[in-house]
Amino acid sequence: MKKSLVGWAAFLALASTGVAHAQATDTLKKLKDTGVVTMGVRESSGALSYTLGDGKYVGYHVEICQKVLGDIEKQLGRKLEVKYQPVTSQNRIPLVQNGTVDIECGSTTNNMTRQKDVAFAVTTFVEEVRIAVKANSGITSIAQLNGKKVATTTGTTSVQTLRKNERATNVNFEEVFGKDHADSFLLLETGRADAFVMDGSLLAGLIAKSKNPADYKIVGEVLSVEPIAIMIRKDDPAFKKAVDDSLRAMMKSGEIAKLYDKWLMQPIPPANAKVGLPMSDNLKAALANPNDKPMEDYAAKK
């Protein structure tokens, strides 16, 4: 009898854990019950997600997420209050995992390592990692980074990508870290770094918003091709389907292409500067055939 009771106790403990896990990952139920959704946003992720100050966040991915949440409101049959939670490269995954953030709308690369911890919606941006330098630096390639200081943002994949590049063999550089993308650009701007390795759209956006855009240029080889996607909790198929269905509809209607033009090709606030980054062939393909494949799949195609 005692063994039986112990067995039942163990079973109930496991069952309650399973229920708690199911509740924790049932985002649609959480949104319907509370009427509140928390959107993870970035303060300086180029034209994808950035702040105008006073708690106002804008950008290509922010507006896409706002439209997705509008569709989810219709599905749930109730209005949702959207709370904006700034996240960083370091804390974005933990904040999605622990339920603080319901949908992260920044500049997160979908890769196989991250897929172990979180889920990604279908790809809405395809990034090419590049190198930004001062225009008068004379640096035009990876080889010329030997002995230089290279800035990157803590918690991002860019310098790992640079180190793995075959052209970086025997190139020794010192890594310097910015706490966010604006901080990393400041390292380049103030001469504390000779180069800044990051997603091309982020570099283009930061250069466009700088005091003297002509003082900088994007150079060198494309270091990697990375699918960028909206991040959500893992093991929540109903919420992922709701997000993906909304995105697929926007892709089919041409709405996402219009948003791309608005944020990447037209003047944007606060300085009304243009990022001027035409849509890549990789992104055109992702919009024509929606998928949530990780960056490793793109690398395999090379």
Q: Is residue 253 part of a domain?
A: yes
What is the pLDDT, as a whole number, of residue 8? 47
pLDDT at 19 over 50: no
- The answer on 170 and 58 residing in a single domain is no
Residues 155 and 198 in one domain: yes
Residue 49 has pLDDT above 80, yes or no: yes
Same-domain check for residues 140 and 175: yes
> Is the pLDDT confidence value at 10 over 80?
no
Choice between 25 and 210, residue whose per-residue pLDDT is larger: 210
pLDDT > 70? residue 130? yes
Residue 198 lies in a domain: yes
Task: For residues 66 and 211, state if they share a domain.
Answer: no
Q: Which residues pair with 145 in a beta bridge?
A: none
pTM value? 0.79
The mean per-residue pLDDT over the stretch 248-256 comes to 98
Range of the domain at 41: 27-126+228-301
Predicted local distance difference test score (pLDDT) of residue 302: 52
In a domain, 260, yes or no: yes
Tally of domains within the chain = 2
Q: Residue 243 has what pLDDT?
A: 98
254 domain-assigned: yes
Strands 56-58 and 49-53: antiparallel
Poorest-pLDDT segment among 14-18, 203-207, 287-291: 14-18
Closest by CA position to 185, among listed 193, 35, 233: 193
Kindly state whether residue 106 falls inside one of the protein's structural domains: yes
Domain boundary among 204, 226, 248: 226
Number of C-beta neighbours around residue 291 at 10 A: 13
CATH number, residue 244: 3.40.190.10
Indicate whether 90 and 207 sit together in one domain: no
Strand order in the sheet with 36-41: 81-86, 36-41, 103-104, 231-233, 118-120
pLDDT bracket for residue 104 (50, 70, 90):
very high
**Domain-terminating residue out of 226, 247, 274:** 226
Per-residue pLDDT of 142-153, as tens digits, reads 999 999 999 999
For range 33-49, the mean pLDDT? 95
- Residues in contact with 67: Cβ distance below 8 Å, sequence separation at least 6, in sequence order: 246, 250, 255
Domain check: are 208 and 63 in the same one?
no
The answer to whether 59 and 263 have CB atoms below 8 angstroms apart is yes
Is residue 20 one of the residues assigned to a domain?
Answer: no
Does the pLDDT value for residue 176 go beyond 60? Answer: yes
Q: Is 86 inside any structural domain?
A: yes
Q: Output the pLDDT for position 203.
A: 92
Which of 166, 197, 226 is at the close of a domain? 226
**pLDDT score recorded for residue 301:** 64
